[in-house]
Amino acid sequence: MQETTSSFVPIQETVAFRMYRTSRLIRHLHYITFQQSGFDLTPEQWFILNKLAVKSPQSQTELGDSIMDDRPNMTRILLTMEKKKLIVRRADRTDKRKSEVHLTDEGRHVLEACLPSAVHVRDRLRHSIGEEDMQAFWRVMDALDRNMQTMFGEEDASSPSSRE
Q: What is the DSSP letter of 98?
A: S
Total of domains in the chain: 1
Q: What is the pLDDT of residues 53-87, one digit of tens each?
A: 999 899 888 888 887 777 788 889 999 999 999 99
Supply the range of the domain harboring residue 28: 14-119
Query: Is 126 within a domain?
Result: no
Query: Is 80 within a domain?
Result: yes
Q: What is the pLDDT of residues 126-154, one digit of tens each?
A: 999 999 999 999 999 999 989 988 988 85
Predicted local confidence at residue 97, as pLDDT? 77
CA distance 120 to 72: 31
Query: Is 83 within a domain?
Result: yes
Query: Is 162 within a domain?
Result: no
Query: Is 142 within a domain?
Result: no
CA distance 90 to 112: 24
pTM as predicted = 0.78
Query: Is 97 within a domain?
Result: yes
CA distance 90 to 120: 34
Query: Is 44 within a domain?
Result: yes
CATH number of the domain where residue 72 is located? 1.10.10.10
Query: Is 21 within a domain?
Result: yes
